[in-house]
Structure 1
Amino acid sequence: MSLEVEKPPETTKQLKRQDSLYGDAEKVSGFKHHGSEGGWPRLLQLAFQSIGIIYGDVGTSPLYAISSTFPDGIKDQDDLLGVLSLILYTLILIPMVKYVFIVLYADDNGDGGTFALYSLISRHSKVRLIPNQQAEDAMVSNYGIEAPSPELRVAQWLKQKLESSKAAKISLFIITILGTSMVMGDGTLTPSISVLSAVSGIREKVPSLTETQVVWISVPILFALFSVQRYGTDKVGYSFAPIITLWFFLIAGIGMYNLIVHEIGVLRAFNPMYIVDYFRRNGKDGWVSLGGVILCVTEGMYADLSHFNIKAIQISFSTVLLPSVALCYIGQTAYLRKFPESVADTFFRSIPELMFWPTFIIAILSAIIASQAMLSGAFAILSKALSLGCFPSVQVIHTSKSYEGQVYIPEVNFLMGLASIIVTITFRTTTEIGNAYGICVVTVFSITTHLTTIVMLLVWRKNFIIVLLFYVVFSSIELVYLSSILTKFIQGGYLPFCFSLVLMALMITWHYVHVMKYWYELDHVVPANEVTTLLEKHEVRRIPGVGLLYSDLVQGITPVFPRLVQRIPSVHAVFLFMSIKHLPIPHVAPVERFLFRQVGPREHRMFRCVARYGYCDKLEESGLFKGFLMESLKTFIQDEAAFKTNSTAGDTKELTDPKVSGHDLARWVEKEKQMIDKEMERGVVYLMGEANVIAGPESSAAKKIVVDYVYAFLRKNLTEGEKVLSIPKDQLLKVGITYEI
């Protein structure tokens, strides 16, 4: 069936393009994230599911929080009321007020976490270190964010400062990857402290078990936990939402029982004056004890926002988590007022006799589920780091067909599992692990506060006084907690810093060389208008099939191409210069995936193509990708023909031959589409530049170490570019080239 392209009347408005790289952004009206529709039944269902995914680590914190706050025992009965008051107001202020009712609204089209905040800032000011921004990016349907009541003067001032200061750009990048490193540390420590705390409860019934034996019981559980990560949150976490829900009702019931049986008067702790009295009575010791108090909270709910929505999290937190956990802590305090000597094993000793074994079993299951969800969140955050070029291209496996944010990274899972088991065997008790865990949590809290403050000024454009109040209140609280937990640096607190420094060094190294490599290619780019000359110079012949030459560049032609035609003077009948580009948004709708440009004369059938993905999008398998790509290319050719015919109404210069009629052009379009199908049948060949990056001869010794040794080691041992792109090995051709940066 032929395409009919009719010439419009003279009065028709001419089509205009913002740039020669023309896409289909106008074809999509919007993009809905997970959980955005369905009414109250769907909302309540998501709220129920969120209990099993988000709150596991907060819900299991009663296993160890109070015992970590009083490692040397209880000196004064009223100290219990002071600590309970601290726990209650910490739960109210940080997870509820800050996260649930403020920070969750800083979602990135339904996605949360440190990188979501960074991507929001990136879209409103040019702070990314790689200069690959294009005008068409802003046309993607979920790229823009509606900003409430603008305070333009402050927003424009901040935007100008961020864009003009290289130090500001680097600082934003550093604190973002620091947050990522700390979340990875959290994902390593959460399984250790949760599982070890739950398993240690068995000593209440089998007191002959030694501490060492408890550790060796915990190790196989941890091994099993990391082994099932390949099945993902979708199959593990969602299935066990009923168990976590049962856990919450169970700890709430136990708390209510202890409150009624032992001392209902502990409800006085809702009076914040008990906090003042606690610090007045204990001084420095009270300040140091905050390192244990902070273990009652976590930052996981924001990172897991992409699996649910804001209202679902608000409902589940307010109606299930907060009441249940608060009652549990209140009950433990009531029990300790009567039995202060039991502070080391408060949770299990406060359980009624008949409920011990059911609670013990559910505690272990809850610890496993909580750890699994935290690990899934850590993988998701690291996959976003990959999209920014901050980590070697390791294989990312999507574990859910329904929820794209759920991923599994085999190499990282192995290393985190090994680290978690080593930490459990080495530290043996929850006290020192808790010190390390606390530093991870508070650091991420602080980073989130700083990035959210920038979002409030730059994106939301809130009143400066409101923003200042938010920043002062929460940064002050977090600074007090951080200063407290840092006093325990030697007692395990050094662990996340060591872990984070190593991970940050690797990420900074990779990103630094990645940026330098991009700039090198940009400086040695081949202008599109010189491709014809290059082909004629080397007498390049056209061979059957479709060729895809991959590079990071979105501007011009990669310097790998001249290298290719020098060594093998042949180019496929249909040839595309491909770039995979990750936009600072979670998702790009499939219809907006590709941007095309004609390179050289039409008869060359050479095109520039940028395939755009969000940082949560999964790259299609090879067969799906090339089929989708070729269909989009045919659509582009058809759209170009329509554009040229339409433009002829006012300017015949748009046509190569002004005498060509609309019907002739339609026949040409149909012939081109048939030709693409024919070449597709002959085969697709993927070409990639195998760039050997080395430091220049005049580089410093530090640069040579970073580029020639550290980067080379990572590239050799971790990079799997063709696997990430799902390129079949029998269709891959690599072109060797050396970049001297």
Structure 2
Amino acid sequence: MSSDNEVVLHEDSTTTEQFKENKLILNGSFDVESCKHGHDHHHGCNQPKGGDEWMVILQLAFQSLGVVYGDLGTSPLYVFSSTFTDGIKDNDDIIGVLSLILYTITLLPLIKYVFFVLRANDNGNGGTFALYSLICRYAKVGLIPSQEAEDQDVSTFQLELPDNRMLRASKVKSLLENSNFAKTFLLFATMLGTSMVIGDGVLTPCISVLSAVSGLREATSAMTEDRIVWLSVVILILLFTVQRFGTDKVGYTFAPIICVWFSLIGGIGIYNFIEYDPSVVKAINPKYIVDYFKRNKKQAWISLGGAVLSITGTEALFADVGHFSVKSIQISMCTVTYPALLLAYIGQASFLRKNNNLILETFYKSIPGPLYWPMFVVAVLASIIASQAMISGTFSIIQQSLSLGCFPRVKIVHTSAKYAGQVYVPEINYLLMLACVCVTLGFKDTVKIGNAYGIAVVFVMCLTSAFLVLIMIILWKTHILLISYIMIIGSVELVYLSSVLYKFGEVGYLPLAFALFLMSVMYTWNYVYRKKYYFELDHKSSPEKVKEIITETNSHRLPGLAIFYSELVHGIPPIFEHYIANVPALHSILVFVSIKSLPINIVPVEERFLFRREQPNNLQVFRCVVRYGYTDVRNEEEPFEMLLIERLKEFIKEDYYMGLAQQGDNNEQAQNEIDGELIDDIGVIVKEEEEEWGADREIEVLDRATEAGVVHLVGEHDVVAGKGASIGKRILIDYGYNILKRNLRQSNKVFDIPHKRMLKVGMTYEL
């Protein structure tokens, strides 16, 4: 058998056709995929057929109302009051602002997100990291050199390009791949956008709950501003306290509540439209936007910061697509959310045309008397749901950042066995709660908080547009007219961004302060993470060195299985030599395990393990790359150790059978009997006692080693700045990174490693 044979394990019985297929990919490859799956492996397993498919889509569309649209749906609580902060100067300004809101909702959430951005999902998952992962998979822009050709064979890694799949990479792709600045900028922009979305997780609960509770002012004069603030704080604390129970159990109550909410705001909108001023329907004419800007000039531009709040939560359309489907979100948006929001804003505008002085209490004052209390209760519930959706989204983003080496290790708790994306991060939850309470107590005013909220919302939208243009150019090969259309929408977003940035001094700095803090944490961790990887890559042990070390310690081979953990994918890490230098003895079987995160959401279990045998065979040394997607659940269902050993046994069998297949293929007679005789020939060979003894004997040795004991060797790397390093680098590594490392989870907690069988091997890296 060739010394270069490496295979991946699968559960299926071996056949000659599989041997033939695998043999064609063996030459010079590090690892070989022996189990091929189509692109629908992840999505197609449980897909309904025939007429049932639309029933499932409609059910998902209904459920999406409670998860996706909470934030977007509650924006009528505060949009008009945040837009007319200085009161209404001209009655026609109401029609101008209404026209502005209608076209903003139509252009951005409806056209851009529902019909364009949702298509740029990563195997069903959305968000900033999903866009970044798509770009990384098509263009080699990742900053860590851990890419392998075999990664592209993972079923969920496959890209569905509309056309021109095999065409030469575009100039944009080449520019990205050949520019270190472009690679760094893409990662930086992704981190910044992610930080802004996390900032939304702080501001959404504040503005939503505060706006809803403020309705109590209309019920009783005893409800002062301070009491409203403290009641909001109590609700926020309760909201964050119940996060640890997850959203799965209460998820079914969300959709009916939001459905009732949309029915009420739409119905009240129709009532106000008929009751007060039906002439506001002329806001459909965009001419009134132009007239509004002519009359108010700079003040109209400033008011854009309030109007843009009508689309808060739009990013949730994309971020939450993984829980549902593109079609279901398109249906729910077009049939329920969009019409209800238009009716709500039209109704409020009609009310304001006759009640200019009630701008600050527009929402609750426009409610007919008998519906006040039902509407108040539903408004509070809807604001809590809106907050819940953004908090859950924040947890998912943290999980993605963590998996891609862009966030320090924190505890990830999966709260739902049904939905892998529903996670809970205790440390982040309590930090968010503290931030929300501080913001609510510190600013007390939805207008001020809205100034900050707008910056986070519009910035993420601009970033999404920029990434979408890149994907349309280098992946989809889209026609230039469609690209130009998205760029026009992006330019509109930049106008909105300029407006919200104008209020930077009026609490607008808040999301940027959050983002800068999170960015500093993410950048520090990722910078040292990359430096450590390059250090290990530069100091890895060569195959010759490994063979020499093991040969020298052959007389000191202990019974048992030793598993060395490392982040290094290419080669054996330097900590191995460090260990041997201090403990000159080795276990009978060695497995070097590298944990690798791919820029995709899920890696199927049967495609997760890649094995290689170090030569010669009698060394009993294996290398294993364990690949995960950024939403994969690690070690929740079965112990990692057990799974690794079972896959190793299958690898030994397949490695052995692959050798037999190659020997049979070299035989001219076997090559002429493809239809079935070759299988019989191989069956005869397998039954030969001597050769069967080879595979069974090795598995027997593995079983004995496992029974003797499994030791987990975890590298504990201390990092210090190298001699001659700059002051900035010393602060970053010696203080920033090490403070984070000391106060967060240890690497052994990533897997369920038994403490009694874990040995930490310390080594200091000078970076």
Which category describes the TM-score, using the shorter chain as reference length?
over 0.9
Q: 1:729 — aligned with what?
A: 755
Q: Work out which of the residue numbers 415, 422, 428 in structure 1 matches 2:444.
A: 428
> Is 1:260–2:286 an aligned residue pair?
no
TM-score, L = length of structure 1: 0.95
Task: Give the Cα–Cα distance (whole angstroms) in 2 for the partners of residues 13 and 447 of structure 1.
Answer: 42
* TM superposition shift of 1:637: 0.8
In structure 2, give the amino acid aligned to 1:77: N
Alpha-carbon separation, structure 2, partners of 1:334 and 1:510: 53
- Report the counterpart of residue 47 of structure 2 in structure 1: 37
1:696 and 2:711 are equivalent in the alignment: no
CA distance in 2: counterparts of 1:615 and 1:304, whole angstroms: 15
Select which of 510, 513, 520 maps to 1:505. Answer: 520
Question: Is 1:113 aligned with 2:119?
Answer: no
Give the secondary-structure state (helix, strand or coil) at the position aligned to 1:635.
Answer: helix
Residues 553 and 586 of structure 2 are in contact (CA less than 8 Å); yes or no, is this contact kept in structure 1?
no
Does the residue aligned with 1:580 lie in a helix, a strand or coil?
A: strand
Kept in 2, the 8 Å contact 1:190–1:374? The answer is yes
Q: 1:373 maps to what in 2?
A: 389
Q: Aligned pair in 2 of structure 1 residues 6, 404: CA closer, same or farther (>3 Å)?
A: closer
Distance 2:482 2:165 in 1: 12
**Could you tell me which residue of structure 1 aligns to residue 368 of structure 2?**
352
Q: For 1:36 and 1:478, locate their aligned partners in 2 and report how far apart those are by CA, in whole Å.
A: 39
Counterparts in 2 of 1:691 and 1:156: CA distance versus 1, 3 Å: same
Contact 2:22 2:34 in 1 (8 A): no
Residue 188 of structure 1 pairs with residue 202 of structure 2: yes
CA distance in structure 1 between the aligned counterparts of 2:27 and 2:42, rounded to whole angstroms: 26
Q: Which residue of 75, 81, 85 maps to 1:67?
A: 81
- Give the superposition deviation at 1:19: 4.2
TM-score (norm 2): 0.92
Gap change, CA 1:202 and 1:712, over 3 Å in 2: same
Q: Find the partner of 1:565 among 560, 575, 580.
A: 580
- One-letter identity of the residue aligned with 1:75: K
- Per the TM alignment, residue 729 of structure 1 is displaced from its structure 2 partner at its CA by 2.3
On the 8 A contact 1:188/1:419 being kept in 2, the answer is: yes
What letter is aligned with 1:422?
Answer: C
1:28 aligns with 37
Alpha-carbon distance, 1:661 to partner: 6.0
**Correspondence 1:475-490 to 2 at 5 A:** 475-490=490-505
Partners in 1 of 2:161 and 2:293 — Cα distance? 42
Q: Which moved more, 1:36-45 or 1:128-137?
A: 36-45
Q: Which amino acid aligns with 2:358?
A: S
AA at the equivalent of 2:43: H
What is the one-letter code of the residue matched to 1:734?
Answer: K
Q: Residue 322 of structure 2 aligns to a residue in which SS?
A: helix
**Alpha-carbon RMSD:** 2.3
Deviation at 1:315, TM superposition (A): 0.2
Shift of 1:7: 10
Q: Which of the residues 669, 681, 706 maps onto 2:732?
A: 706
Q: 1:683 and 1:355, CA in 2 relative to 1: closer, same or farther beyond 3 A?
A: farther
Contact 1:509 1:711 (8 Å CA) reproduced: yes
* 1:468 to partner: Cα distance: 2.6
Q: CA deviation at 1:34?
A: 8.6
Query: 1:234: how far off?
Result: 2.2
Question: How many angstroms apart in 1 are the aligned matches of 2:484 and 2:168?
Answer: 12
Structure 1 partner of 2:671: none
Report matched runs for 1:519-534 at 5 Å.
519-534=534-549
- 2:285 counterpart of 1:271: yes
Q: How does 1:649-728 map to 2 (within 5 A)?
A: 649=664, 662=686, 663=688, 664-728=690-754
Letter in 2 for 1:162: L
Which residue number corresponds to residue 423 of structure 2? 407
Describe the shift of the 1:405–1:14 C-alpha distance in structure 2 as closer, same or farther (beyond 3 A): closer
| 2:9 alignment partner in structure 1 | none
**Would the alpha carbon gap of residues 474 and 13 (structure 1) be closer, same or farther in structure 2, given more than 3 Å must change?**
closer
* Deviation digits for residues 65-104 of structure 1 (CA, Å, limit 9, x no counterpart): 1110011111111111111111111100000000000010
Q: CA offset at residue 402 of structure 1?
A: 1.1
CA distance in 1, matches of 2:237, 2:16: 68
Superposition deviation, residue 708 in structure 1: 0.6
Identify which range, 367-376 or 27-36, moves more after superposition: 27-36
> Is residue 310 of structure 2 the alignment partner of residue 296 of structure 1?
yes
- Alpha-carbon spacing, 1:151–1:648, altered in 2? closer, same or farther (3 Å): closer
- CA–CA separation in structure 2 for the residues paired with 1:199 and 1:108: 38
Q: Deviations over 1:446-505 (max 9, x none)?
A: 00000010000111111234313321x112111110011111111110001111111111
Deviations, residues 277-335 of structure 1 (Å, cap 9, x unaligned):
11111100001000000001131111111111100000000001011111111111111
For 1:515 and 1:547, locate their aligned partners in 2 and report how far apart those are by CA, in whole Å.
27
Show structure 2 runs of 5+ residues with no match: 1-11, 668-683
Partner of 2:4: none
The DSSP-based 3-state class of the residue aligned with 2:170 is helix
Aligned to 2:644: 629
Alpha-carbon distance between aligned partners in 1 of 2:44 and 2:275, rounded to the nearest angstrom: 45
Q: How does 1:268-667 map to 2 (within 5 A)?
A: 268-297=282-311, 298=313, 299-471=315-487, 473-538=488-553, 541-621=556-636, 623-649=638-664, 662=686, 663=688, 664-667=690-693
Shift in Å, 1:539: 5.6
Amino acid of the residue matched to residue 150 of structure 1? Answer: N
Residues 668 and 11 of structure 1: is their aligned pair in 2 closer, same or farther, counting only changes over 3 Å? closer
Contact preservation (8 Å) 2:640, 2:752 = no
Q: 2:166 aligned with 1:166, yes or no?
A: no
SS of 2:622's equivalent in the other structure is strand
Cα deviation, residue 276, structure 1: 0.8
- Using the alignment, how far apart are the partners of 2:706 and 2:479 within structure 1? 57
How many residue pairs get matched? Answer: 730
| CA distance in structure 1 between the aligned counterparts of 2:164 and 2:15, rounded to whole angstroms | 46
Partners of 1:13 and 1:608 in 2: how far apart? Answer: 19
SS at match of 2:762: strand
Contact preservation (8 Å) 1:540, 1:565: no
Does the Cα contact within 8 Å between 1:641 and 1:666 map onto a contact in 2? no
Match of 2:3 in 1: none
Distance change in 2, residues 1:87/1:375 (3 Å): same
Amino acid at match of 2:744: L
Aligned equivalents of 2:105, 2:410: Cα separation in 1: 37
1:206 aligns with 2:232: no
After TM superposition, give the deviation of residue 522 of structure 1 in Å.
0.2
Alpha carbons 1:621, 1:725 under 8 Å: kept? no
Q: Is the 8 A contact 2:22 2:32 kept in 1?
A: no
1:11 deviates by 11
Give the Cα–Cα distance (whole angstroms) in 2 for the partners of residues 433 and 175 of structure 1.
Answer: 24
Partner Cα separation in structure 1 for residue 421 and residue 22 of structure 2: 43
- The 5 A counterparts of 1:99-110 are 99-110=113-124
- How much has 1:220 moved relative to structure 2? 1.0
Asked whether the 8 Å contact 2:36–2:153 carries over to 1, the reply is no
Structure 2: how far apart are the matches of 1:11 and 1:261? 76
Indicate yes or no: 2:137 matched with 1:128. Answer: no
* Partners of 1:407 and 1:533 in 2: CA distance: 46
1:434 CA displacement? 0.5
